[in-house]
């Protein structure tokens, strides 16, 4: 790995100090850092490194300082031509970022030696379609959420899987989640935790009016279509909780598996179940 893209949480106060040490360390090992344009410019000694700022998605790997939100942004950035991503947790819970800032140098040494594995994660391709055209087209790593947005009441949604009508729900909305996103909004809405090695999508109603509306897991090969039947304005489709698009009566949100996978760098001493126990504090008295 010769070129290392670097992303950082925008309000991470230690980014400059961290990069002042990391950049020369990488160059000493004949690696070329490529910085995210959102990282503030900085200097080392009396010179400013000649760092490229518009091609972090063209490196051999991506180093991400932040929490899960920054990792979601990173995965979307390289979704169409994925490269391995290593997350350094400077955020909160951090299901996707298992390395601490103190371990960044030993972790990179392992990566450069090839002592790691690639954990591939399902991503979603979503389109918002009006009656005549596609008005939004995006990808998500965690989830696509169709919700009431600013509406005071409930939304009515008609859900189809493949060519078959599944159900109609009334409530606060619907979460269409990947296994990666199953520990996020879907979990807080009563959805199951799904191992990321399972190739599936999870449909989780948000506060449904009918108690018979329950989460359902469908194969990744399916295409999910959700039609908004509410007449009131204010409903929205959001993607990874970081971007959104207003939807109107009759609009359809089409969600299916993306044809590429996010690639996360993992080390042999960490498993999915270990991360669950650590982050959710399972087994603690």
Secondary structure of residue 186 in the 3-state scheme? helix
| Active-site position among 36, 54, 57, 68 | 68
* Cα distances (angstroms) measured from residue 175 to each of 23, 201, 215, 241: 40, 10, 9, 11
**Alpha carbon distance 137, 60 (integer Å):** 27
- 36 in active site: no
The rounded Cα 35 to chain-centroid distance in angstroms is 20
In the chain, what is the straight-line distance between the N-terminal and C-terminal CA atoms, in Å? 44
Q: What is the dihedral of CA 29, 32, 33, 34, to 10 degrees?
A: -170
Secondary structure of residue 254 in the 3-state scheme? strand
Q: Which residues are catalytic?
A: 68
């Amino acid at each position: 790995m010769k070129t290392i893209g670097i992303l950082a949480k925008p309000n991470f106060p230690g980014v400059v100090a961290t990069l002042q040490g990391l950049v020369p360390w990488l160059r000493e090992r004949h690696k070329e850092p490529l910085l995210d344009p959102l990282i503030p410019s900085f200097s080392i000694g009396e010179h400013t490194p000649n760092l490229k700022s518009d091609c972090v998605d063209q490196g051999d790997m991506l180093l991400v300082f932040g929490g899960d939100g920054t990792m979601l942004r990173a995965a979307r950035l390289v979704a169409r031509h994925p490269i391995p991503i290593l997350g350094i947790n400077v955020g909160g819970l951090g299901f996707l970022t298992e390395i601490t800032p103190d371990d960044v140098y030993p972790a990179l040494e392992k990566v450069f030696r090839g002592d790691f594995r690639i954990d591939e994660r399902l991503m979603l391709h979503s389109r918002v379609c009006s009656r005549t055209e596609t008005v939004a087209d995006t990808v998500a790593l965690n989830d696509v959420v169709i919700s009431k947005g600013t509406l005071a009441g409930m939304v009515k949604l008609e859900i189809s899987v493949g060519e078959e009508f599944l159900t109609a729900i009334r409530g606060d909305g619907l979460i269409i989640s990947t296994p990666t996103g199953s520990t996020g909004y879907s979990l807080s809405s009563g959805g199951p935790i799904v191992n990321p090695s399972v190739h599936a999508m999870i449909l989780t109603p948000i506060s449904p009016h009918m108690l018979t509306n329950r989460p359902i897991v469908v194969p990744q090969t399916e295409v999910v279509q959700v039609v908004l039947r509410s007449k009131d304005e204010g409903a929205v489709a959001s993607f990874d909780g970081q971007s959104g698009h207003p939807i109107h009566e009759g609009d359809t949100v089409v969600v299916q598996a993306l044809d590429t996978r996010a690639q996360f760098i993992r080390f042999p001493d960490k498993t999915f179940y270990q991360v669950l126990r650590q982050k959710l504090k399972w087994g603690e008295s």
